[in-house]
Amino acid sequence: MAATPDQRARTADASPPPRSFGEEGARLSYGDYLRLKDLLAQQAPQSGASDELLFITIHQVYELWFKLLLHELERIRDAMAGGELWHARHLFRRVHAVERVLVEQVQVLETMTPQDFLEFRSVLAPASGFQSVQFRELEFLSGAKDEAYLSRLRDADDAELARLRRRLAEPTLWDAYLTALSQRGLAVSDEEIMDSLLAVARDRGSYDDLWELAEDLLTHDETAAHWRMRHVQMVERQIGTKSGTGGSSGAPYLRGRTRMQFFPLLWELRAWL
């Protein structure tokens, strides 16, 4: 069999095989690059309960994914406003995949029994998911801006409050979608927006990219609703009708939140088609 160009070159000058890719710099190790010493030192259970490590780990994993989602959703917003619809759609595929993971991962925490949760639940109060700054940032960026939540963040520091205020002030995904519509000559005033959305839906030949982008927004909205429903099911399974450590009514409050829509007009559009 004929030698490959690579084999020929090696036998010709008898030089040692090249070092494997990445060895040239030889500065970073796996643990250094990923800051594993710091990362793996961040789980500090407050009780002796065996399942508290699971509880902390799952929340930290959520927060890491929230961080990535904020990064990608910002890029999506900016791509939409900048007319780069293909790029927004590319990033939406990633966002949807992560969001499906967020929903699926609820089942990991559901392996905990309510009895085992009660072993450490009392040490958690008054902490609760209410205080997740990144979760609220995701809602604000998606269009559900509700300033009232700022007052529920008991222990938020100045930097966190500033981040939320910035999210309240900056354009949402919906604002960016409207910019994309107007760049294509479509009217976006309150009175005209439904007609524009209908025009996009009815003329896929001219507006397919805008239609698909609206579908991506809707999938983001739908998957967020799936998470809220999975979360409240998990809550009912764990604490039933008890009120929450964060001071809400618990499951009834969370059931109310499942009706929230980021993009109500995209849902309403269906009725007019």
Neighbours of 94 (CB within 10 A): 14
Asked if 130 is part of the footprint of ligand HEM (rule: CB under 6 A), the reply reads yes
CA dist 231 and 107 (Å) reads: 10
In contact, 53 and 111? CB cutoff 8 Å: no
Stretch that binds ligand HEM, among 36-44, 162-170, 177-185, 249-257 (CB under 6 A): 249-257
Give the single-character DSSP code of 16: P
Asked if 234 is part of the footprint of ligand NFK (rule: CB under 6 A), the reply reads no
Angle CA(109)–CA(68)–CA(152) in degrees, nearest 5? 65
Cβ-based nearer residue to ligand NFK, 77 or 121: 121
Asked if 134 is part of the footprint of ligand NFK (rule: CB under 6 A), the reply reads no
Considering CB distances under 5 to 8 angstroms, the limit depending on partner class, which of ligand NFK, ligand HEM, none binds residue 65?
A: none
C-alpha neighbours within 13 Å on the C-beta side of residue 15? 10
Please identify which residue in 109, 199, 245, 251 interacts with ligand NFK, judged by CB under 6 A. Answer: 245
As to burial, measured by CB atoms within 10 angstroms (0-12 exposed, 13-18 middle, 19+ buried), residue 189 is exposed
Shortest spacing between CB 165 and ligand NFK, in angstroms: 23
Residue with tokens 């959703």: 73
Contacts of 12 (CB under 8 A, 6+ apart): none
Helices (H), 184-203: 193-202
Asked if 128 is part of the footprint of ligand NFK (rule: CB under 6 A), the reply reads yes
241 is in an annotated binding site: no
111 is in an annotated binding site: no
Cβ-based nearer residue to ligand NFK, 82 or 246: 246
Residue with tokens 């976006």: 188
Asked if 143 is part of the footprint of ligand HEM (rule: CB under 6 A), the reply reads no
Cβ-based nearer residue to ligand HEM, 77 or 136: 136
**Sites of contact with ligand NFK (CB under 6 A):** 59, 121, 124, 127-129, 239, 244-246
Binding residues for heme: 231
**Sites of contact with ligand HEM (CB under 6 A):** 58-59, 62, 109, 117, 128-130, 132, 135, 231, 234-235, 238-239, 244-248, 250, 253-254, 257
